[in-house]
Amino acid sequence: MYGTQQRRQNHHHIILNSHRVGIIGGGLAGLSTAYHLLEKNPSTDITIFDQYPTPGIGGASAVAGGLLHPLNPRGKLAWNGLEGLALANKLVNAACEFENDVVLRNKIYRIAMNEDQVTKFQTTANQLPEFATWLDQPSSNSSSSADDALKLSGDCKVLHMKSYMKGLWSSCQSIGTGTKEWITLPEQEEKEDIGTSNNNIEWEERLKDFDTVIFAAGSGLFQTSSLLEKEEFPIHLVGGQSIEMTMNDGDDDDDKILWNAIICGKYVSPMIEKNRVLIGSTHEFKEEPMTPNEVEDELKTRSYHFASGVWDNGTIDRITSATRVQSNRGPYGRLPIVGKLKDCRHHPNSWIFTGLSGRGLLYHGLFGHNLVNMILEENTTEGSEILNWWRPKL
């Protein structure tokens, strides 16, 4: 017992005095981990490896809808939803110190389409009055044909993902005395995934000078010729495509639900540009992605009943796509995968943070915080059963 405690104290002392951390992936998971490491130990040297030259211009995090709220798809509070919301807002506030337009809206509407949902959403409003308000008729000018909605406000927000991630990286760069470096992977690797090495540069060579390595990317970790083996984790790779549209009526009154975010299975979310919205997203398990016509048909069919005004008055600009890592459903729902990797061939002190999927904004702060605590204490059982839900049962 004493020996284990002494080793942890020695490990913690080493980290607090000199620690070089390599983070593979500069999306929500990687940036949250970097921020919490620097907050705990400002002298940490951080290097982020990413396919893109700056944060927020590629990957699943960059094309997300930007909807920050603590509810699950059934309209109930998600596991640790309030703690996740608080820690996410802490990161949002840090990003806002360096970037404008991080927060696009301060409310989100969850439309009720049947009596069962009405009852559930009314219960949520009664239980969580600090951010949930039940509206019988949210707006006579709404683009939705539904009359009832749960309005999420308070700490619930719509974020511009590019501005948020750029601001969060700037915040990381401002903390402490350690070096912060963003390394863009060679161009030939961008065409594949971040684990491919067409120019024979071995990841072991890249990572050999780091004390700790954190695999914090998404699908690139697991796709063909990649860094980690997908079969070793309880995950699926899920394709997602969304549609960006320009509205033609020219009215962007902030009081209209149309210009705020609407969730009802699919979502409609305002973009940073005036009169533009994002509709998403498809959920694709097949190897071949949907064609543009199939994407339009799928999203229109699934969203027209609550966003007819968007489809009737909008013009499609482009379709965005990304592949997400979706974890299998466990006893606490779909939770991210965090923890220490055993026998990783790339580095002896390797950790993982992936599988944020559709709850990336809610959980990136919480699980980044938990992971950093595990790393600093060299405690692979932090949170025990909950955080280690993904490991095989012995």
* Residue-averaged pLDDT of the chain: 86
115 has a pLDDT exceeding 60: yes
Per-residue confidence at 165, pLDDT binned at 50, 70, 90? very high
Give pLDDT tens digits for 17-67.
Answer: 558 999 999 999 999 999 999 999 999 999 999 989 999 988 888 889 999
Taking the whole predicted model, whether its pTM rises above 0.85 is answered as yes
CA distances, 204 to each of 194, 227, 333, 392 (Å): 14, 11, 35, 26
CA distances, 171 to each of 33, 194, 213 (Å): 13, 25, 21
The Cα 207–Cα 215 span in angstroms is: 11
8 has a pLDDT exceeding 50: no
Residue 24 within any structural domain of the chain = yes
393 has a pLDDT exceeding 80: no
The Cα 362–Cα 364 span in angstroms is: 6
CATH code, domain carrying 388: 3.40.50.720
Q: Which domain holds residue 371?
A: 1-102+159-234+328-394
Determine the number of helices (DSSP H) and then strands (DSSP E) in the chain: 10, 17
Residue 207 within any structural domain of the chain = yes
235 has a pLDDT exceeding 70: yes
Residue 134 within any structural domain of the chain = no
Mean pLDDT, residues 295-311 taken together: 93
Residue 301 within any structural domain of the chain = no
Kindly report the backbone phi and psi dihedral angles of residue 53, in degrees, each rounded to the nearest multiple of 5, phi listed first.
-75, -20
Residue 252 within any structural domain of the chain = no
Q: ∠ CA 339-31-384 to the nearest 5 degrees?
A: 20
The Cα 37–Cα 376 span in angstroms is: 9
Residue 384: its pLDDT value, please?
67
CB 223 within 8 A of CB 360: no
The Cα 301–Cα 341 span in angstroms is: 42
Instruction: State the pairing for strand pair 261-264/266-270.
Output: antiparallel
Provide the domain count of the chain.
1
Residue 189 within any structural domain of the chain = yes
193 has a pLDDT exceeding 60: no
DSSP letter string, 317-331: EEEEEEEEEEEPPBB
Residue 77 within any structural domain of the chain = yes
CA distances, 324 to each of 88, 240, 281, 301, 336 (Å): 20, 7, 12, 23, 12
Residue 256: its pLDDT value, please?
54
